[in-house]
Chain A
Amino acid sequence: EAQVTQNPRYLITVTGKKLTVTCSQNMNHEYMSWYRQDPGLGLRQIYYSMNVEVTDKGDVPEGYKVSRKEKRNFPLILESPSPNQTSLYFCASSLGREVALYEQYFGPGTRLTVT
């Protein structure tokens, strides 16, 4: 089954404790992206990657890191999480450059709480 998977689905952590949220897709998609979703603000793009070893900032990259060492994986790293990073996070992927502009497949989401 074609899908985007994220782990963990739920995470409660404390301020400053480094964490990684994994994202994997099995569709051989070139484009991958991370979003956070907050009430009243909608989805905001954190980082995106056009291909292996190519990443770029979205609208809200502060406090986050990403890497794209393999085509299928795009982990999101919070080096020192803070309470304002409490949010619902989505990973998405798309077939390629132009398609990335209008057709993305989303994972099930990771609900992160930082206390």
Chain B
Amino acid sequence: QKEVEQDPGPLSVPEGAIVSLNCTYSNSAFQYFMWYRQYSRKGPELLMYTYSSGNKEDGRFTAQVDKSSKYISLFIRDSQPSDSATYLCAMSAGTGGFKTIFGAGTRLFVKA
């Protein structure tokens, strides 16, 4: 079993829809939870990060962490065609090293 599971999609939605992207994990030591966006033929870029549990909002993006369920989510409101990309979740424990574990990524298409 992988430490981080993420549905690869693809996920196709109409413009303006609310998008929900999710990851589950097995390592209870993870404390830092990140979402990266990767456009085709580009390197990933950090969208948001959350420390421990809770919600974090940044414009149209909301990140949620539920440590009791080992489940994290990224919500995109009013999705735009420019949001079409692969979204990668990532996690770090913060102790015993500085490894970051990434999910496989979910490919999102937002249709105009």
Closest 8 CB pairs of A and B: A106-B43, A42-B104, A43-B102, A101-B92, A102-B49, A42-B102, A102-B32, A101-B32
Fill in one digit per residue for B77-112: 1 if any A CB lies within 8 Å of its CB, else 0.
000000000001010101001111111110000000
With an 8 Å Cβ cutoff, the count of chain B residues facing the other chain is: 26
Q: Which of these, B6, B32, B42, B92, contacts A108 with CB under 8 Å? A: B42
Answer yes or no: B46 CB below 8 A from chain A CBs.
Answer: yes
Q: Which of these, A40, A58, A98, A106, contacts B8 with CB under 8 Å? A: A40
What is the CA–CA distance of A4 and B45 in the complex, to the nearest angstrom?
12
Q: A42-B103, A45-B100, A48-B99 are in contact. Are A90 and B43 (CB under 8 A)?
A: yes
Count of CB-CB pairs between chains A and B under 8 Å: 63
Q: Which of these, B32, B34, B94, B98, contacts A31 with CB under 8 Å? A: B98
B43 touches A100 (CB 8 A): no
- 14 chain-A/chain-B pairs, Cβ below 8 angstroms: A33-B100, A35-B102, A40-B8, A42-B4, A42-B88, A43-B88, A90-B43, A92-B43, A102-B32, A104-B100, A105-B45, A106-B44, A106-B45, A109-B42
Answer yes or no: A97 CB below 8 A from chain B CBs.
Answer: yes
What is the CA–CA distance of A108 and B39 in the complex, to the nearest angstrom?
11
What is the CA–CA distance of A43 and B104 in the complex, to the nearest angstrom?
7
What is the CA–CA distance of A31 and B4 in the complex, to the nearest angstrom?
23
A45 touches B43 (CB 8 A): no
Give 17 new A-B contacts, CB below 8 A, not counting A33-B100, A109-B41: A4-B43, A35-B102, A42-B6, A42-B88, A43-B88, A56-B97, A56-B98, A59-B99, A92-B43, A100-B98, A101-B32, A102-B34, A102-B49, A103-B46, A108-B42, A108-B43, A109-B43
